[in-house]
Amino acid sequence: MLQKALELSDIFAPHEAKRRDELFQLNRRLIHYTSAAAAVSIIRNSAVWMRNVLCMNDYMEVEHGFQLMRRSFEPPVDSESERGLRAVAAALDAIFPEISKDCIDWFNGWLFALRNKTYVTCLSEHHPSENEYGRLSMWRSYTASQVGVGLIINPLPLYSLSQTFGAFSSPVYYFGDVELRDTFFEIASNVTANKDLLASKGADEVKGYFCMLLRGIAMCTKHPGFHEEKEWRIMHTQGLDEQGALLREVEIINGVPQPVFKIPLKDHLESGMTGISIPDLLEHVIIGPTEFPMPVKDAIVIELEKAGVKDAETKVSYSNIPLRT
C-alpha cells in the first residue's frame, strides 16, 4: 500500500522523492533542535508540540511559499513559476478537463486556514559528521539565553503519518521562482508520461495529490539561502485535517496563551502508526554548548530512564563546539 502511494506521490512531488531517497539511501537521521526545558517536557510527557505558524520565530519561514504560489496564479501573473504551473495544469487538464481549476479553487478556498490555522513542528536532516558537535547554526538559534538540545530520531515512522493520525510530514523546499518553475516542468512531464496510470486512478484521487502539492509548496518552501538547514516539517491544519490522535490544548509560552496540538509519542493502531514511542523513536541526544553540561546530561538521562530507554547513559552526549555569542 505504501509503495503504491509513493508511486503517485513521486509523480506529483519528485522534489520530495529526491529528499526522501537521499535520507534513506545515505542512512541519515532527523534531529529536533529545541531547548533543554522543551526536551525534558517531550521525554517526560511523551508528546511533541505543534505550534501555530503565526507564532514561529520568523513568520517569513512560511510566508515565502505563499508568495511564490500567489505569483503563480493570482493576477497579474507573469512569473517563471506561473509558466511552470500552466504546464502542469495543461498536462492534467488533458486527462481530466478543468481539474486544475478545481484544485486552484480548492487551494484558494482553504487559504485562510492554511495561513492562520496550521500548526507545525520542525526537524532537520542530521549528517553523520554532526554526531559529535551538532550544527553550529542551530546552536546559535537555541543557546542565546538557554541550553539547547538536539533530539536525534529514526525518520522511518514519519512515512506512516497520515490524515487519520492527524498530521503529515514534508521536507522543506528551498525554491525561488526559477527553481519552482523547473519543478513544475518536471511534474508536468511526469503527468504526461504517466497519463494512463493517472486516468485509471480517477479524477478525485488525482485531484487529491495535486491539491497536496499546492499545499506543500505553500507551507514548506523557504528562500534558497536557508538550504543548509535541510528542514522537515510535521503539520496539521485545523478544519482541513482530521484531528486523529492529536491532542488540542492551551499552553502559555513566553507569557502568551495559545492553542497547541500535541503529537502523542505512542503507537496509534487506528492509523497504523507504530514505532514512535520514546524508546523506539529516540536514538541519541546532543546537549548544546552550556556552562552546565554534566547536570543537564544527568537530568536528561534520568528522564530517559523513566521513559523506558535502555542504556540511557550511552545515548546522551554534549557538544563542546566553541560558540561565540
Q: Domain boundaries in the chain?
A: 2-318
Q: Work out the pLDDT band at 143, boundaries 50, 70, 90.
A: low
Q: Work out the pLDDT band at 2, boundaries 50, 70, 90.
A: very low
pLDDT cut 70: percent of the chain above it: 94
pLDDT greater than 60 at residue 5: no
pLDDT value of position 29: 93
Instruction: Tell me what the mean pLDDT of segment 143-167 comes to.
Output: 84
Does 96 or 272 have the greater pLDDT score? Answer: 96
pLDDT cut 90: percent of the chain above it: 62
pLDDT greater than 90 at residue 211: yes
Residue 163, φ and ψ in degrees, nearest 5? -60, -35
All three cell numbers of 9: 506521490
pLDDT greater than 60 at residue 4: no
Range scoring the smallest mean pLDDT among 5-14, 197-206, 246-255: 5-14
- Please list, residue by residue across 237-259, b when 16 or more beta carbons sit within 10 angstroms of its beta carbon and e when fewer do: bbeebeebbbeeeeeeeeeeeee
pLDDT greater than 70 at residue 140: yes
Pair type for strands 221-222 and 316-318: unpaired
Closest CA to 289 of 154, 141, 153, 152: 141
pLDDT greater than 90 at residue 210: yes
Q: Is the overall model pTM greater than 0.85, yes or no? A: yes
pLDDT value of position 77: 65
